């Protein structure tokens, strides 16, 4: 058996050989002429000239051997629904959805925004887009109308697919209402909206001529055979928006061939997902984890995938282990926050079910603390693998690869660079390489491996400017994370280098939250920082300077004003961005050149020293922050 080190070294030193072999994990309609074209750095083209299709690889090619095997198991503990689809049934549903889209004039290269709760139709819609060469952009349901409108205007979809409502912890989330508001706000609205009516929102409004009923269209397209549209490997497959340091989200664009190969390779060598086995990923299709490891990757390798609507503690905290037991799940993927939630519950639930089918639990999305890592590894008795990645990469950057070598796991560490990643820790000052035990910026020497973003949708320059210009000394991809490597070569992630925060695995730009708060008419200025939180990793905290302070003249008025500002965030961005508190002050701490001293505010909020304050304009501003935090 090859060692991890040799496997990784070959992936970098012999890119053509290594990735050329990996390409054999998927079907090609037309072979590629070149494994890698890196003639236009930093844009990497993988499998040039090759033609393939994600839907064919995820469904059609399995029909012969696994037509009757379950492909998708849908479980909603919110509505009580449980339905499974064999590969043959999934093929039929995806063909129906593809026929609906084609009937509405959607073809190759057209964008389709999928704004849907966790229902099977969301997966059908993604795969149907892939089938006909349309580019999907799934928008997470937790985003508010204004955030959805920004994404509509950037992607300019021909059609949107949505539903009346989703459910979370027994509460309905009214997708259709939010969609209507977003379309009103958008400059480039879609021509048609297809709606899955789950019967949750009884008063759902339908816009005549624009809104169409999915069930009706499906019944008119019961037996279509929509041929797959073969795409050149580098054509776009999807766009997924992610937060950064500016208020405008970036459309991460992914290709087709490299994406399929990277996911298939990750299933084989990293997740150890066997064809015929079952994978349970507890994410949402609105996030990259949902794209890669609920929908595409498990199907690409012929596994059964579980799609779950609900929370980890309803009807009781044993629900996930019940699902693992009943479906003989072999690969599970979740987030540190979810495990921290479970850690707080009665432990008997973990012992109630037979989870011996499970080979590994993978966790990602945010830092995994040692205590939680150790606790869940002991409780399950299987390796718990912390792995580190980003929306931009689409699959792990740092991880153990148990399919290659079962390297020992160190608590709190996402192990080593994944194959294909020429990863370095660079000194911030001059881009030279950090020694062991020395903090550095986690960077990747390009070309990025297959599966990583190919560009920012519609903005090649932004791709270069955002990710490749941190260091003037050399062109490297910056992850915007700090990392450190110990003497044994294990990596640890230490947090972001930029103003992005991570709330329960959800990435948010502090700038985005500030912009949302600033739309409140009484806010003159605001600073938002991420503050350590025991359960969610981080929580946003806001400090606002008001135009008219008479609005907070009494404690009651102050509390009402704080609520009003929080509601503004809910409305503009979504409840996931809502700060835990909004403190009112009269001055923000800034440098003499006017730069906000965010790190100092954050340090104070976390009970640390405010750091170097030699450049501060007015130290009284920090005093106000201290007083506000102390509740004075």
Please identify, using beta-carbon distances, which residue of 157 and 365 lies nearer to ligand AMP: 365
Q: How far is the CB of 494 from ligand AMP (least distance, A)?
A: 9
Q: How far is the CB of 239 from ligand AMP (least distance, A)?
A: 14
Helix (H) or strand (E) holding 109: none
Q: How far is the CB of 24 from ligand AMP (least distance, A)?
A: 29
Please identify, using beta-carbon distances, which residue of 48 and 380 lies nearer to ligand AMP: 380
Q: How far is the CB of 508 from ligand AMP (least distance, A)?
A: 9
d(CA 464, CA 476): 10
Please identify, using beta-carbon distances, which residue of 78 and 366 lies nearer to ligand AMP: 366
Q: How far is the CB of 288 from ligand AMP (least distance, A)?
A: 6
Please identify, using beta-carbon distances, which residue of 26 and 252 lies nearer to ligand AMP: 252
Footprint on this chain of ligand AMP (rule: CB under 6 A): 242, 288, 364-368, 386-391, 414, 479, 481, 493, 496, 502, 507
Is omega for the bond preceding 45 within 30 degrees of 0, making it cis?
no
Please identify, using beta-carbon distances, which residue of 388 and 416 lies nearer to ligand AMP: 388
CB atoms within 10 A of CB 197: 17
Q: Which residue has the tokens 């129906």?
A: 96
Q: Which residue has the tokens 């059964």?
A: 304
Please identify, using beta-carbon distances, which residue of 424 and 583 lies nearer to ligand AMP: 424
Q: How far is the CB of 483 from ligand AMP (least distance, A)?
A: 9
DSSP-based three-state secondary structure for 100: helix
d(CA 202, CA 177): 12
Q: How far is the CB of 283 from ligand AMP (least distance, A)?
A: 10
Pairs from 342-346 (Cβ < 8 Å, separation ≥ 24):
342/312, 342/313, 342/317, 342/376, 343/372, 343/375, 343/376, 344/535, 345/313, 345/317, 346/317
Q: How far is the CB of 442 from ligand AMP (least distance, A)?
A: 8
Q: What angle do CA 543, 549, 551 make, to 5 degrees?
A: 100
d(CA 206, CA 255): 35
- What's the number of CA atoms in the CB half-sphere (13 Å) around residue 386? 27
Q: How far is the CB of 537 from ligand AMP (least distance, A)?
A: 9
Q: How far is the CB of 352 from ligand AMP (least distance, A)?
A: 28
Q: 142: which strand partners?
A: none
Q: How far is the CB of 275 from ligand AMP (least distance, A)?
A: 27
Contacts of 221 (CB under 8 A, 6+ apart): 96, 99, 100, 103
Counting Cβ atoms within 10 Å, is residue 31 exposed (0-12), middle (13-18) or buried (19+)? exposed
Structure letter (DSSP) for residue 598: H
CA–CA distances in Å: residue 49 to residues 231, 258, 447: 9, 12, 18
Tally of helices (H runs) and strands (E runs) in the chain: 21, 32
Pairs from 424-428 (Cβ < 8 Å, separation ≥ 24):
424/476, 425/483, 425/484, 425/485, 425/491, 426/471, 426/476, 428/497
Q: Which residue has the tokens 């350590």?
A: 532
Look up residue 451 and give its two tokens.
């599966």
Is 319 within 8 Å of 279 (Cβ atoms)?
A: no
Please identify, using beta-carbon distances, which residue of 14 and 428 lies nearer to ligand AMP: 428
Please identify, using beta-carbon distances, which residue of 50 and 141 lies nearer to ligand AMP: 141
Please identify, using beta-carbon distances, which residue of 507 and 590 lies nearer to ligand AMP: 507
Please identify, using beta-carbon distances, which residue of 363 and 603 lies nearer to ligand AMP: 363
d(CA 544, CA 379): 44
Q: Is 133 left (phi over 0), alpha (psi -120 to 50) or beta?
A: left
CB atoms within 10 A of CB 221: 17
Q: How far is the CB of 484 from ligand AMP (least distance, A)?
A: 12
Please identify, using beta-carbon distances, which residue of 57 and 391 lies nearer to ligand AMP: 391
d(CA 240, CA 420): 22
d(CA 195, CA 197): 6
Please identify, using beta-carbon distances, which residue of 317 and 336 lies nearer to ligand AMP: 336
């Amino acid at each position: 058996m090859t060692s991890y080190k040799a496997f990784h070294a070959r992936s970098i030193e012999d890119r053509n050989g290594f990735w050329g072999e990996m390409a054999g994990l998927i079907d090609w309609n037309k072979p590629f002429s070149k494994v890698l074209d890196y003639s236009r750095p930093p844009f990497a083209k993988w499998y040039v000239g090759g033609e393939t299709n994600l839907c064919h690889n995820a469904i059609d090619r399995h029909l012969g051997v696994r037509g009757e095997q379950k492909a998708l198991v849908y479980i909603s503990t919110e509505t009580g629904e449980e339905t499974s689809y064999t590969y043959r049934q999934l093929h039929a549903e995806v063909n129906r959805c593809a026929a609906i889209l084609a009937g509405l004039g959607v073809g190759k290269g057209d964008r389709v925004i999928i704004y849907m709760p966790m229902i099977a139709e969301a997966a059908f819609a993604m795969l149907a887009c892939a089938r006909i060469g349309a580019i999907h952009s799934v928008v997470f349901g937790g985003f508010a109308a204004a955030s959805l409108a920004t994404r509509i205007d950037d992607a300019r979809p021909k059609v949107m697919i949505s539903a009346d409502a989703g459910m979370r912890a027994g509460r309905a989330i009214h997708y259709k209402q939010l969609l209507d508001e977003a379309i009103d706000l958008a400059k480039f609205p879609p021509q048609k909206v297809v709606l899955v009516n789950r019967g949750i929102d009884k008063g759902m409004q339908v816009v005549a001529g624009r809104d169409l009923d999915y069930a009706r269209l499906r019944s008119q397209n019961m037996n279509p055979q929509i041929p797959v549209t073969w795409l050149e490997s580098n054509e776009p497959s999807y766009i997924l928006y992610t937060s950064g340091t500016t208020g405008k989200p970036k459309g991460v664009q992914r290709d087709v061939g490299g994406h399929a190969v990277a996911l298939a390779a990750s299933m084989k060598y990293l997740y150890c997902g066997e064809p015929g086995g079952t994978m349970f990923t507890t994410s949402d299709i609105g996030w990259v984890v949902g794209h890669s490891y609920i929908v595409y990757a498990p199907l690409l390798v012929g596994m059964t995938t579980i799609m779950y609507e609900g929370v980890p503690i309803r009807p009781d905290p044993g629900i996930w282990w019940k699902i693992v037991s009943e479906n003989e799940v072999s690969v599970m993927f979740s987030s540190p926050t979810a495990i921290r939630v479970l850690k707080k519950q009665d432990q008997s639930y973990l012992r109630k079910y037979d989870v011996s089918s499970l080979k590994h639990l993978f966790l990602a999305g945010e830092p995994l603390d040692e205590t939680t890592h150790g606790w869940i590894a002991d409780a399950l008795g299987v390796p718990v693998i912390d792995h580190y990645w980003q929306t931009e990469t689409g699959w792990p950057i740092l991880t153990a690869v148990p399919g290659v070598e079962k390297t020992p796991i160190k608590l709190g560490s996402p192990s080593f660079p994944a194959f294909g990643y020429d990863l370095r820790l660079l000194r911030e000052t001059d881009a030279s390489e950090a020694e062991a035990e020395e903090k550095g910026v986690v960077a990747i020497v390009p070309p990025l491996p297959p599966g990583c973003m190919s560009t920012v949708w519609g903005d090649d320059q932004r791709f270069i400017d955002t990710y490749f210009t941190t260091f003037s000394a050399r062109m490297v991809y910056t992850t915007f994370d700090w990392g450190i490597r110990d003497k044994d070569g294990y990596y640890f992630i230490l947090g972001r280098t930029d103003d992005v925060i991570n709330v329960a695995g959800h990435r948010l730009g502090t700038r985005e939250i500030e912009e949302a708060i600033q739309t409140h008419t009484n806010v003159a200025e605001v600073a938002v920082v991420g503050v350590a939180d025991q359960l969610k990793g981080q929580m946003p905290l806001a400090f606002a300077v008001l135009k008219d302070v008479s609005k907070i003249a009494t404690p009651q008025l102050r509390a009402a004003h704080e609520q009003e500002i929080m509601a503004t965030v809910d409305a503009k961005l979504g409840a996931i961005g809502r700060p835990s508190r909004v403190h009112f002050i009269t001055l923000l701490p800034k440098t003499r050149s006017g730069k906000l001293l965010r790190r100092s505010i954050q340090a104070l909020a976390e009970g640390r020293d405010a750091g170097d304050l030699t450049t501060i304009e007015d130290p009284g501003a920090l005093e106000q922050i201290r007083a506000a935090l102390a509740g004075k």
